[in-house]
Amino acid sequence: MVTRQDFCNEMNRMYENHGMYVGTGNGERTLDVAGKFFEMEKNYGRRDKSGNPLWYTDTARDYEYLAKCYRKKWDMKESRAADCSGAPTYCLRKLGIIANTADYNCRSFIKVCKERGKLVPLKDLQPGDLVFNKEVEPTHMGTYVGDGMVVEFKGRDDGCVRRKTSEGGWAVGGRLPDDWFDGDDMVLTRVLKYIPENMMRGNDVKQVQIQLQLAGYTPGAADGVFGKKTKIAVQAFQLDNKLTADGIVGKNTAEALGFKWEG
């Protein structure tokens, strides 16, 4: 069974293994293609404002990034080379969701989201959603992995980064088709409760809020912050389901909401 969380895990692994940005990379092992950087960048076809080819400087930046990784003594054995669309393409291929011959760029990813999935506002992102710098003809993209974070192959000088959604200049999110994934098990691993002046927050809180909304309750915006409205909605749900109305999402409440409990 392949879930959206599996996709997030693969993208996180690209970051943790110090993925390297290369113009036409599709997840090749960095050390295997190091000697081919020049040819890969040449094939990428980038030019400056005067129309001059940029593969000389692009290749130099590739090697400088690799040198920086070695100066930091990072283990590059599992590092992968990709560009912003090549990374999710590689991960989806690896998981068997798309064919090994399938090749997606930013424009084709947003197209499949529009036609078979859907576009989503940034405030409603769920793990496994894609983010784009433009809704029409996007030129850059990343993958939302939860907890307000996006993994993206940012560029030659930065490689693969993981940073807050608000830091990327994203314009819109895109949800990949449901039939690309099996049903995800929703998992809660902590007790959620309202604590004045010290409210819990996180992607698990957001998932509780979404489930409450789907069940017809009003926890406020699905913002991942366990505030007073969320507590009141939890209590109303607990009363309707003959549970202790303490406003705490523990094992019984979590399971009644449809979550798998691993607390």
pLDDT digits (tens, 9 = 90+) for 167-190: 999 999 999 998 898 765 567 777
**Same-domain pairing of 246 and 132:** no
Do 159 and 67 lie in a common domain?
A: yes
Residue 89, domain extent:
4-180
42 close to 55: Cβ distance less than 8 angstroms: yes
pLDDT of 27-65, one tens digit each? 999 999 999 999 999 988 889 899 999 999 999 999 999
173 and 220 together in one domain: no
Q: Are residues 146 and 202 in the same domain?
A: no
The rounded Cα 167 to chain-centroid distance in angstroms is: 14
- Same domain? 128 vs 9: yes
pTM: 0.70
> Are residues 196 and 87 both part of a single domain?
no
Question: Which tens digits make up the pLDDT trace of 108-125?
Answer: 999 999 999 999 999 999
Q: Of 155, 180, 205, which residue sits at a domain end? A: 180
Shared-domain flag, residues 158 and 39:
yes
- Residue 126 · residue 138 · CB < 8 Å: no
Shortest CA distance to 169 belongs to which of 136, 237, 219, 122? 122
Q: 118 and 73, same structural domain? A: yes
**Same domain, yes or no: 228 and 146:** no
C-beta of residue 19 within 8 angstroms of C-beta of residue 153: yes
